[in-house]
């Protein structure tokens, strides 16, 4: 590392600030921000997540706030206002110019996770009867406004209804004297204001588009969602799904920033619910207490058996949840998935059963632990593993379907949830197999 003189320390690059941003206090952030060049500061500001943007704006001196908030496009301003403390929202809205304030107020009426809440109300527009050359000149004027994107140009009739779309690339490549109507596409991919963001992101993935227009019930254009917003959405949805799958409520906030108590609450709720479910194992075990008293050797394999069910169930539910999230498996596929998972469960169960059998058999030769009836114990473990793994795999793969069917998020079929479900059943399978196998010998 080159030595730093005190003068060099005054200079801060964009990347350096990005690197340390998360760990800086409000005052430090404001100081760091002021060390950037004007252009860098603008880039940095525009790329900030809504919460950081709001904190930064509110930390700045009152006279600087207006120019910064006016720099952001209306959809980002709406997010910023939504991320701000309620008592500051009026103040922030008052900093905007009148037309933008109206746009932002309209956006605030949408939920954050629907197309209307993601869209930018400013888009490039032309009329169908313009020539390509006229359209390009007209666009060159619009380019000076803050458009969401100029790269798709939306063709609207007199009633503001969307009739076509043409990319700037196509306009560029087209013969100058053709009309917009000649080169526009009319088979539009569009969404309605209330379309869920997950559905919007699937449309982007399917069609490889840079932007999708948002229309109201009458087909009038309201704004457009651009793909850069969708990259954030995809990340966000994946984080939510992962957290649900890890057995908790999704945090809805960065891990390093969420308040301790809020996080404990989000984790504690699910953990307590799972704990209450898992209490059924204690009830089930109490039911088999006599069996255990007579054959303590049975207790030794309880953790092994039930965890195998949980592990195979968590594999199956992950696969199905992800396949559903990317739109590859739908509700009506449940029957094909079930057949496939039944076969998989049996094969995996037999494999684990063999390993378990060998383990008991070989261990007994080296260090006799399991008593004279060890072969019967080994067979009990063998058959139980087949049953438990098959059941775990089936339960894990079908639970996401059941949850979706009754209107819940399939991602809630978390590893811990499946494991809890499978644990009780696993115990019942194991002790039932034991009752049959060991009758007359140990029991």
Choices 78-86, 106-114, 169-177, 190-198 (CB under 8 A): range interacting with a copy of itself: 169-177
If one asks whether residue 75 binds a copy of itself (CB under 8 A), the answer comes out as no
Task: Beginning with the edge strand found earlier in the chain, give each strand of the sheet holding 221-226 in spatial order.
Answer: 191-192, 211-215, 221-226
Q: Hey, CA dihedral for 96, 102, 106, 109, is it positive or negative?
A: positive
Q: How far is the CB of 86 from a copy of itself (least distance, A)?
A: 26
Q: CA nearest 120: which of 84, 150, 89?
A: 150
Residues 394 to 423 in contact with a copy of itself, rule: CB under 8 A: 414-416, 419-420, 423
Cα–Cα dist 399/413, whole Å: 6
| Residue closer to a copy of itself (CB basis): 52 or 193 | 52
- Site pattern 288..327 for a copy of itself (x: CB under 8 A): -x--xx--xx-xxxxxx-xxx-xxx-xx-xxxxxxx--x-
Q: How far is the CB of 63 from a copy of itself (least distance, A)?
A: 27
3-state SS record for 162-177: EEEEEEHHHHHHCCCC
Q: How far is the CB of 193 from a copy of itself (least distance, A)?
A: 20
Q: How far is the CB of 206 from a copy of itself (least distance, A)?
A: 6
Choices 3-11, 27-35, 92-100, 335-343 (CB under 8 A): range interacting with a copy of itself: 335-343
Residues 233 to 252 in contact with a copy of itself, rule: CB under 8 A: 234-235, 238-239, 241-243, 245-248, 251
Which residue in the block uniquely carries the two structure tokens 């009506």? 332
| Residue closer to a copy of itself (CB basis): 179 or 239 | 239
If one asks whether residue 425 binds a copy of itself (CB under 8 A), the answer comes out as no
Whether the Cβ atoms of residue 30 and residue 59 lie closer than 8 Å to each other: yes
Choices 1-9, 62-70, 107-115, 225-233 (CB under 8 A): range interacting with a copy of itself: 225-233
If one asks whether residue 285 binds a copy of itself (CB under 8 A), the answer comes out as yes
If one asks whether residue 336 binds a copy of itself (CB under 8 A), the answer comes out as yes
- Site pattern 26..65 for a copy of itself (x: CB under 8 A): -------------xx--x--xx------------------
Q: CA nearest 389: which of 359, 434, 345, 431?
A: 345
If one asks whether residue 127 binds a copy of itself (CB under 8 A), the answer comes out as no
What DSSP line would sit under 50-78, residue for residue? HHHHHHHHHHS-HHHHHHHHHHS-HHHHH
If one asks whether residue 144 binds a copy of itself (CB under 8 A), the answer comes out as yes
240: helix, strand or coil:
helix
Q: How many CB atoms lie within 10 A of CB 116?
A: 23
Whether the Cβ atoms of residue 72 and residue 80 lie closer than 8 Å to each other: yes
Q: CA nearest 135: which of 162, 173, 161, 99?
A: 173
């Amino acid at each position: 590392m080159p030595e730093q003189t005190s003068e060099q320390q005054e200079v801060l690059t964009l990347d350096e600030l990005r690197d340390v941003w998360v760990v800086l206090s409000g005052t430090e952030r404001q100081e760091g921000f002021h060390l950037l060049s004007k252009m860098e500061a603008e880039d940095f500001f525009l790329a900030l997540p809504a919460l950081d943007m709001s904190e930064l704006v509110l930390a700045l001196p009152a006279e600087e706030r207006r120019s910064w908030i006016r720099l952001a496009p209306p959809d980002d301003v709406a997010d910023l206002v939504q991320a701000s403390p309620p008592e500051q929202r009026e103040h922030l809205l008052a900093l905007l110019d009148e037309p933008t304030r109206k746009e932002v107020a309209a956006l605030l009426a949408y939920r954050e996770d629907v197309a209307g809440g993601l869209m930018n109300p400013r888009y490039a527009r032309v009329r169908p009867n313009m020539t390509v050359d006229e359209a390009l000149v007209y666009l060159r004027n619009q380019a000076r406004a803050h458009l969401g994107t100029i790269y798709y140009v939306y063709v609207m009739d007199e009633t503001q209804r969307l009739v076509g779309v043409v990319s700037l690339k196509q306009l560029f490549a087209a013969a100058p004297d053709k009309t917009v109507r000649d080169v526009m596409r009319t088979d539009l991919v569009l969404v309605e204001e209330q379309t869920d963001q997950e559905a919007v992101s699937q449309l982007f993935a399917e069609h490889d588009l840079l932007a999708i227009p948002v229309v109201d019930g009458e087909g009038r254009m309201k704004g457009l969602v651009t793909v850069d917003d969708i990259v954030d959405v995809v990340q966000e949805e994946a984080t939510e799904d992962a957290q649900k799958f890890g057995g908790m409520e999704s945090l809805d906030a960065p891990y390093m920033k969420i308040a301790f108590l809020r996080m404990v609450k989000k984790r504690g709720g699910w953990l307590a619910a799972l704990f209450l479910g898992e209490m059924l194992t204690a009830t089930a075990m109490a039911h088999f207490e006599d069996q255990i008293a007579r054959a303590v050797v049975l207790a030794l394999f309880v953790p092994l058996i039930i965890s195998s069910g949980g592990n195979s169930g968590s594999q199956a539910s992950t696969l199905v949840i992800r396949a559903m999230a990317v739109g590859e498996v739908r509700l009506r596929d449940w029957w094909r998935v079930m057949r496939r998972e039944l076969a998989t469960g049996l094969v995996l169960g037999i494999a684990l059963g063999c390993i378990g059998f060998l383990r008991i058999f070989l261990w007994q030769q080296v260090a006799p632990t399991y008593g004279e009836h060890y072969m019967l114990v080994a067979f009990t473990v063998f058959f139980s593993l087949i049953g438990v793994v098959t059941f775990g795999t089936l339960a894990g793969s079908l639970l996401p379907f059941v949850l979706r069917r009754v209107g819940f998020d399939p991602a809630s079929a978390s590893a811990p949830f499946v494991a809890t479900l499978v644990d009780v059943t696993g115990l019942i399978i194991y002790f039932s197999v034991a009752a049959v196998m060991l009758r007359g010998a140990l029991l």
